[in-house]
Amino acid sequence: MLETRNLDKSFGAVHVTRDVSFRLEKGERRVILGPNGAGKTTLFNLLAGELIPDSGAIMLAGEDVTSLPVASRARRGLSRSYQKNTLFDGLSVEENLGLAASIHTGFGTRLWGDSLSRPEVREIVEDVAAQVNLQPYLHARVSEVSYGVRRQLEVGVALATRPRVLLMDEPTSGVGPEMAGAFHALLAGLPRDLTILIIEHDMDLAFEVADSITVLNYGEVVFDGAPETARGSDLLKEIYLGSWEHA
Ligand X SMILES: Nc1ncnc2c1ncn2[C@@H]1O[C@H](COP(=O)(O)OP(=O)(O)OP(=O)(O)O)[C@@H](O)[C@H]1O
Backbone dihedral region for residue 223 (phi beyond 0: left; psi -120 to 50: alpha; all else: beta): beta
Of these, 4, 41, 81, 105, which contacts Mg ion (CB under 5 A)?
A: 41
Q: Are 40 and 29 in contact (CB under 8 A)?
A: no
Which residues in 188-217 contact other proteins (CB under 8 A)? none
Q: Are 24 and 1 in contact (CB under 8 A)?
A: yes
Residue 156: which of 46, 81, 59 has the closest Cα?
81
| 6 vs 36, beta carbon nearer ligand X | 36
Q: Which of the ranges 52-60, 89-97, 180-188, 213-221 carries the binding residues for other proteins, by CB under 8 A?
A: 89-97
| 52 vs 188, beta carbon nearer ligand X | 52
Of these, 10, 36, 72, 117, which contacts ligand X (CB under 6 A)?
A: 36
| 2 vs 199, beta carbon nearer ligand X | 199
CA 100 – CA 69 distance, rounded (Å): 18
CB of 44 to ligand X, least distance (A): 8
Q: Which residues bind ligand X (CB under 6 A)?
A: 11, 14, 16, 34, 36-42, 83
